[in-house]
Each structure stands twice: as C-alpha cells, then as structure tokens.
Amino acid sequence: MLAVVLVGGFGTRLRPLTLTKPKQMLPVGSVTMLQRVVDKLAAAGVTQVVLSLGYQPDAFIEEFPDGTCAGVSMHYAVEPEPLDTAGAIRFAAAHAGITERFFAINGDVLTDLDLAALWKAHDAFGGQATLALTPVEDPSRYGVVPIDQDGRVEAFIEKPAAGTAPSNWINAGTYVLEPAVLDRIPDGSRVSIERETFPAIVADRALFGMHSDAYWIDAGTPEAYLQAHLDLIDGVRGEPEASQSPLATVHADAVVTRSVLGPGVNIEAGARVVDSVVMRNSRVGAGAQISRSILGGGSSVGEAARLSDLTIVGFSQAVAAGTESVGQRFPSAENW
Ligand code: GDD
Ligand code: MG
C-alpha cells in the first residue's frame, strides 16, 4: 500500500518553533511527529510513503539518509511552490507515479485510527474517496463533514464560522483516494482539497465518510501540540510513555510534574516545571517557574523567570532572568 503524507505547510501556528524546523520534524516526546505518523502507516501495511514537501524539505531528506523510515521506503516530492492540499497530493502522486488506490494523510495528525478498517470501508462504499471522521467539541477549526445513514457525505464545510457547523464530526485528515480524484485536480495549480475537490466530489455523490472514536489529535496548534505530549505520558493512548529522558538532570530541590524532559535538559535548584515540554539540551534556571509552556531545544530560561499559558520559547533562545510571560513567544512575532 502507498501513502502520500502532506508535510509541506509552514506551521505558522507553532512559530517560533517552526521557524527553524518544519512542524512534522518537531519532537513529540522521544521521536519526531513524522516518525509517529510513518510508524502507524507501517503497522497498517504501508510499504511506500510519498512525502509531499514544500517548506524546508532538506530537514526531511537529511533525517532519513538511506531513504527509509520504520522499514518504509520514502519518496520525496518537493513542490516548486506551495500547491495547497489537493495540488500537493496531485503533484506528489504524479512525482511518485501513483496509479492505484492510496492513502493521503495530513502529516500533523496523531491518531489510533484503524487504517485497515478505513481501507475496507472504502471498498464497501465504492466511491471515489473515503474520509475518516472524528468527533470534536468545537468543529470550527476543522473541515465539518455530515454524512447520511449510508455513509455518504452530505456536505464538506471547511472551517465554518463558530456556532454554524451542522455536525461535530470532522475531517480527520486521513483519506483513501482513488486515482480518479487526481484527475479532478488541475496540474501545477494551487488547489485546496477541502474547499474545492471534496465539495466537487460531494456534488457527484461519490464522497464517503467513516466515523471513528479512536484517539485523534491534530498537533498543529500550541495547545494541541502540548496536549499530544501530555496524552502520551498520561497513558491516554495505552501504556504511558516515559516523560523524562534518562539523560535529563533535575536538581534535588526542583519539582517537575507531568512534563516531558528531553535528553540533556537541566532543571536547576528550586525550579518548578508543570504540564510542560522542555526539549533536548535546554536549561531551566534556578527558581524559574514553567507551566503549560513549550521550550524549544537548546533554549535557556534565566533564574526566577515565570512562563505560563502556552508561552513558547524558540530553539536556542535565551529568556532573561526574572522574565514574566503569560503566553508570549520568544522571539516575539516582530522578529520572525
Ligand atoms: N505539500 C504541502 N503543500 N503540504 C501542505 C500545504 C502545501 O501547500 N499546505 C498544508 N500542507 C500540509 C501541512 O503541513 C499539514 O500536514 C497538512 O497539509 C494540513 O494542513 P494544516 O495547515 O495542518 O491544516 P488544518 O489543520 O488547518 O486543517 C486540515 O486538517 C484538519 C484535521 O487535522 C484540514 O484538512 C481540515 O479539514 C481537517 O479537519
Ligand atoms: Mg493541521
């Protein structure tokens, strides 16, 4: 089986972390987001992944020098310019010579969805495309997808205004597509699968959806990126993952609660780290307090600083001693 994985977005919502690394090359715990996505595809029997690349493609190519990841062979399709989701799938599929049914996946989705069941459902529906659908509380930041009792999609509404969504079931960013879908997408143009291609297939009554209650999160916002970490260490997805690398150092007078610490992290005396992510080789100075925040790798938080409410510190950034931050970003947006 083949899968096209979309990883070419700019990751703007996760800046400044994504100024120096594409979103899917950020760690989620001990491995990258992309590795988690590819592992899942491999477990479902996918043998070839086509990475649809745009922003900072070299970061991906360098990560897998022998062209394999989790035993899956990786094909790199680098867009000359951002083609948006449908344009990117069309470009990547043509680049890799795909002529058969395939998976297409948003590369920032972490899920325990049953991919084999989706493939089977697609076979049974007999349409041009089948989407996995997941329930969320606030559908307004997603593609909203009501289906009828036969699984046929009634409408595809990308990011509806708050309070107007006809359903809480949203596009989980995981599709089985027939090659016929590719023929609908004009070559080399910017086309959104959510705003153009799917609505056109709905009009032809050939789009289907499969509900799934499996664990699902789109890790593309700071809140969700943090939550994806907490879910892993809380054991929401099964056996909890280790929260602290054995190569992290926590001073005996420091307190670390429900947080992910990467290798080489140093938490100094009297510091407090709660519900946070501290990536590799970062330092939290003496007496600093970090809560619900994300520190990029190689960063340093000075003594007695207080960072809370989704403060994000970019890779290799230093935050001065005594800084107070409620949700600020370092560096701040005017320096991006
Ligand atoms: N190659 C390429 N080129 N990839 C792209 C481009 C592009 O121009 N634009 C976005 N991507 C990639 C992103 O890197 C990401 O992996 C995926 O496409 C989806 O883009 P996001 O920017 O993360 O979209 P979203 O989260 O706002 O919404 C999408 O995902 C939701 C579920 O996670 C939509 O598909 C929604 O309908 C869906 O509900
Ligand atoms: Mg996303």
Answer yes or no: is the C-beta of 8 below 6 A from any ligand 1 atom: yes
Ligand 1 centre distance from Cα of residue 48 (Å): 21
* Residue 206 and residue 200 in contact, taking contact as beta carbons nearer than 8 Å: no
pTM over 0.85: yes
What's the rounded Cα separation, in Å, for the pair 152 and 298? Answer: 49
Q: How confident is the model at residue 69 (pLDDT cuts 50, 70, 90)?
A: confident
Which of 85, 156, 174, 207, when mutated, tests ligand 1's pocket best, judged by the most ligand atoms within 8 Å of its CB?
85
Q: Which atom of ligand 1 is nearest to the CA of 54?
A: 1
- Paired with 193 in beta bridges are none
Q: Ligand 1 centroid to 62 CA: how many Å? A: 22
**Considering only CA atoms, which residue is closest to atom 13 of ligand 1?**
9
Nearest CA to ligand 1 atom 7: 84
| Nearest ligand 1 atom, CA 7 | 14
- Measure the N-to-C terminal CA separation of the chain; round to a whole number of Å: 40
| pLDDT mean over 132-157 | 97
Average pLDDT, the chain: 97
106 lines ligand 1 (CB under 6 A): yes
Residue 252 has pLDDT above 90, yes or no: yes
Q: Which domains does the chain have, with CATH numbers?
A: 2-233 (3.90.550.10), 249-335 (2.160.10.10)
